[in-house]
């Protein structure tokens, strides 16, 4: 204690230097994560790309702009938009979209893929969850690193959150939901960044006259709408056929109608404000719930959690859950198989009128969940 009294200036200087050093290190980590872009290696099936800002110029130069990958077949046909990364803390949608880009090839029709739908939400994550910034896969080209982001756009990009978010329909939600893009559709051209992104996607669908849209999500195992497809009423007939094919392939999938009174979501607003057949698919992920332990890379990749094991034993969950967890391969496989079956269903119902959608090369659910295969085997 005497030392601190007699060397007061020295102690103050050391504390000041240490504080500055901590601030610099933290600031660099913040800056690096905000500007990090994982590498996507398009396969031969990608025929072109463009920026989403082509459909809302307000996005140019912002963290809301994102790349749209186009996979056009040699034969004309229908068109299909796949939205991955709507919520970047739901990695199976993001990785399913990237797998399509890197391994898929369209034989007929055109498939548009957006792997980072809410790009702003990839520039931060949720510190209260203690979740990691990244998760990794071993691939032919070496270790690949992917972002584990947030459910919501970065608050830096639209601050502050209001106490109450009033959607364009008049629906009111908690203020933080203003940064949830799946509460922002059909969007506002000059609104918040999140609303601008939603507007650009809606405008793109209308301008390109895209026939079918799929939004890929994950949900907590204790959430009733899980391992499910949610469909706009105009898409129910086609979705029913896809569900039957998934069930025959051994994949349990329920079909839920899009609630008419719940606004802002893709399956409602894109179905109402465009001619597309709007679908959303949910798969189970313990990292999304409120019963899990620590969110680390192992939980993200394996879906194994002791707390969920106990919840399953007590009958609290809406999906089967055991010591094998819910591996990312299984969750991605459900999404990819869903896209395969819904393209087949589209061909059955609309193929004669609009032309077929045929995509090859992407792994099936069986390929991803048997024989010890890992997702990295299907990445470049």
- Residue 5's pLDDT band, with cuts at 50, 70 and 90, is low
Query: Residue 99 and residue 144: Cα distance in Å, rounded?
Result: 13
Query: Residue 280 and residue 225: Cα distance in Å, rounded?
Result: 11
pLDDT recorded at residue 277:
98
pLDDT recorded at residue 13:
72
Shared-domain flag, residues 11 and 79:
no
Q: What angle is formed at CA 34 by the lines to CA 31 and CA 38, rounded to 5 degrees? A: 120
- Residue 26's pLDDT band, with cuts at 50, 70 and 90, is low
pLDDT (average), residues 230-253? 95
The pLDDT of residue 322 is above 70? yes
pLDDT recorded at residue 114:
98
- Residue 90's pLDDT band, with cuts at 50, 70 and 90, is very high
Shared-domain flag, residues 14 and 77:
no
pLDDT recorded at residue 19:
73
Contact in structure between 303 and 322 (CB atoms under 8 Å): no
Range of the domain at 8: 1-35
In whole angstroms, how far apart are CA 272 and each of 169, 253, 259?
A: 12, 24, 12
Global confidence as pTM: 0.94
Shared-domain flag, residues 157 and 234:
yes
Give 85's Cβ-side CA count (13 Å radius): 27
Shared-domain flag, residues 263 and 344:
yes
Residue 314 DSSP symbol? T
pLDDT recorded at residue 11:
60
pLDDT (average), residues 260-280? 98
Domain count, the chain: 2
Beta-carbon contacts of residue 76 (< 8 Å; ≥ 6 apart): 108, 109, 355
**Cis (ω within 30 of 0) for the bond into 160?**
yes
Nearest Cα neighbor of 79 from 175, 210, 248, 231 is 210
Shared-domain flag, residues 29 and 90:
no
pLDDT recorded at residue 138:
93
Shared-domain flag, residues 123 and 185:
yes
Shared-domain flag, residues 222 and 236:
yes
The DSSP line for 63-110 is: TT--EEEEEE-SEEEEEEEEE--SSTT-HHHHHHHHHHHHH-EEEEEE
Shared-domain flag, residues 86 and 161:
yes
User: What CATH number should be reported for the domain holding residue 69?
Assistant: 3.40.630
Shared-domain flag, residues 224 and 370:
yes
Residues in the chain: 380
pLDDT recorded at residue 54:
98
The helix/strand/coil state of 234 is helix
Shared-domain flag, residues 330 and 371:
yes
The pLDDT of residue 164 is above 90? yes
pLDDT recorded at residue 127:
77
User: How many percent of the chain have pLDDT more than 70?
Assistant: 95
Give the pLDDT confidence of 136-163 residue by residue, as tens digits: 999 988 999 999 999 999 999 999 999 9
Shared-domain flag, residues 6 and 146:
no
The pLDDT of residue 4 is above 60? no
Residue 350 DSSP symbol? H
Shared-domain flag, residues 237 and 279:
yes
């Amino acid at each position: 204690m005497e030392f601190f009294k007699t060397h007061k200036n020295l102690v103050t200087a050391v504390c000041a230097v240490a504080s500055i050093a901590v601030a610099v290190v933290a600031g660099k980590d913040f800056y690096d994560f905000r500007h990090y872009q994982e590498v996507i290696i398009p396969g031969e099936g990608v025929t072109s790309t463009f920026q989403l800002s082509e459909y809302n110029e307000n996005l140019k130069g912002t963290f809301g702009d994102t790349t749209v990958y186009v996979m056009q077949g040699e034969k004309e046909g229908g068109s299909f938009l796949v939205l991955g990364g709507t919520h970047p803390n739901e990695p199976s949608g993001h990785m399913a979209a990237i797998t399509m880009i890197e391994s898929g090839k369209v034989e007929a029709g055109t498939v548009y893929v957006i792997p980072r739908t809410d790009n702003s939400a990839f520039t931060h994550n949720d510190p209260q969850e203690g979740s990691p910034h990244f998760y990794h896969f071993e691939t032919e080209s070496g270790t690949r690193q992917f972002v584990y982001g947030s459910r919501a756009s970065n608050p830096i990009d639209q601050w502050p959150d209001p106490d109450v978010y009033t959607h364009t329909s008049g629906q009111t939600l908690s203020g933080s939901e203003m940064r949830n893009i799946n509460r922002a559709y059909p969007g506002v051209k000059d609104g918040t960044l999140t609303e601008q992104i939603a507007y650009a996607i809606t405008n793109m669908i209308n301008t390109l006259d895209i026939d079918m849209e799929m939004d890929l999500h994950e949900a907590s195992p204790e959430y009733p709408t899980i391992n499910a497809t949610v469909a706009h009423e105009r898409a129910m007939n086609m979705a029913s056929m896809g569900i039957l094919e998934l069930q025959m392939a051994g994949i349990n999938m329920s079909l839920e109608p899009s609630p008419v009174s719940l606004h802002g979501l893709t399956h409602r607003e894109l179905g109402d404000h465009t001619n597309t057949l709007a679908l959303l698919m949910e798969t189970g992920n313990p990292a999304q719930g409120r019963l899990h332990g620590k969110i680390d890379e192992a939980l993200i990749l394996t879906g194994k959690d002791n707390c969920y094991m106990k919840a399953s034993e007590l009958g609290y969950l809406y999906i089967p859950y055991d010591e094998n967890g819910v591996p990312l391969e299984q969750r991605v496989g459900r999404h990819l198989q869903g896209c395969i079956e819904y393209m087949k269903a589209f061909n059955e119902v609309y193929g004669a009128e609009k032309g077929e959608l045929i995509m090859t090369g992407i792994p099936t659910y069986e390929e991803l969940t048997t024989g010890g295969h890992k997702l990295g085997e299907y990445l470049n």
